[in-house]
Amino acid sequence: MASEPPLSARARRAAAVLLKIAGAVLAVVVVVGALGAAFVSSRYFGAAIEGELARSMLQAKHRTLRFDGPLEIFFWPDAGFQVSRVSLSEAGSSQEFAALDSARFSVAVMPLFHGQVVIDDCRVEGLKAAIVKHRDGTLNIDDLFVAEKPSNARFTIDAAAIGIGHAALGWIDEARGTNVAVADLDVSGTRLQADTAAKTLRADALALAGRIDGTRVQLALNGFAASPTAIAADRAGADFDYSAADTALKGSLSAHLAVDPQGGTIALERLAGDVGIAHPRLVKRLELPLRGAFQAGRETARGDLETRFDESKATLKFAVPRYSPPALHVDVDIDRLDVGRYLAPRRDEPQQQKTRSSALDFTALDGLQLEGTARIGSLEIAGVKTRNIKLEIRGTPAKLDVRGVGAKGG
């Protein structure tokens, strides 16, 4: 049989190339069309959901939910949403209750078909809210947390990381007249795992940092686990930086945390850290390494601490017999103390300046009833030594009555 003409072979090759090009063009058209449809649908669904959420909130809770930025919904490769500039009013009022600058949340799609929620992204920025406890004992958020019939659905949640940044929260108690403000609040968590059926939560690390009424506080929990019967952390750490008038406290503490939610107890074991104290009357900043333990229940608390500074060793045992009105019992034991090494002599200065610079500020402890004893094995003041001192302490931090009940010279 005669072979086909060379032109036919070239034609077939050209046709194959054209088919490939056409397929590629078609694929591009499909992808572009799908992306365009997804973009249009995300904007369309976002706008529709905005309106429905606002209507539902107004009808059910009498609160105004306002979207000043777009709500965008996306479905692939992750499913979720992102939103910006959202605010919520107080119930039955136009006054703002909460607001946020932006939020983004997304989950992997395929694990959802297997009862798993794998969170790829969860971030909230600029959250602002104020919780108010009214004089009748109700909260301004009670209507948002109406108890509903629990769901029997079981699924697991796995999040690589979550975060809240630059938040500001407030607590107002109208009956007591207290107002606590938390600013510059950052919250983060890594490797979180939850089981809705078992009601358990685990996290490699949880961290919180912010300012509470001007005091810088950082908290961290490592190896965190929570269930209805127990809450624990392999390491619970706290860093704080507090100042009032001329008194400054700065330190870092860590401990093993154990909480019994049913029994209402909390325990800090293997407590360790250090605290620095600065004051104009101190010759130098006093650094105190600490060791101890702390336990608290629903009505009482107790603990013990020990420290060393230079050649001195001190122990402190304390107990809180009641929380309201607050009361504290302390027992202090110091083996030796040379006051001149730490306390600067008074200088002649105007009375107003002396009061301002040397007085300790105990306004945060107003109302605390204090009692206890202090024992000093050897005390030296201005070259005068005294042994076996015992002091009885009564009163409030602002007005203490300290009486010596035993001492020996030498």
Residue 80 · residue 74 · CB < 8 Å: yes
Backbone angles phi, psi at 303, to 5 degrees: -175, 175
User: Concatenated DSSP letters for 274-337?
Assistant: EEEEE-TTBSS-EEEEEEEEEEE-SS-EEEEEEEEETTEEEEEEEEES-TTTTEEEEEEEEEEE
Phi-psi domain of 191 (left: phi exceeds 0; alpha: psi -120 through 50; beta: other)? left
The two structure tokens encoding residue 193? 């795992």
In 3D space, the residue among 229, 127, 219 whose CA is nearest the CA of residue 168 turns out to be 127
Give the integer Cα–Cα distance in Å for 261 and 298.
10
The segments of the chain whose pLDDT lies below 70 read 1-46, 147-153, 346-366, 398, 405-410
The whole model's pTM is what?
0.74
| pLDDT of res. 284 | 84
Give the integer Cα–Cα distance in Å for 147 and 35.
41
Residue 385 · residue 407 · CB < 8 Å: no
Instruction: Check the CA dihedral 114-115-119-123 and report its sign.
Output: positive
In 3D space, the residue among 62, 63, 82 whose CA is nearest the CA of residue 72 turns out to be 82
| pLDDT of res. 254 | 96
Element (H, E) at 35: helix 6-61
Give the integer Cα–Cα distance in Å for 100 and 125.
6
| pLDDT of res. 28 | 41
In 3D space, the residue among 326, 315, 319 whose CA is nearest the CA of residue 374 turns out to be 315
Beta-carbon count within 10 A of 89 CB: 20
The two structure tokens encoding residue 96? 């703002």
In 3D space, the residue among 252, 248, 261 whose CA is nearest the CA of residue 200 turns out to be 261
| pLDDT of res. 400 | 73
| pLDDT of res. 201 | 94
| pLDDT of res. 347 | 62
| pLDDT of res. 85 | 94
| pLDDT of res. 7 | 47
| pLDDT of res. 197 | 86
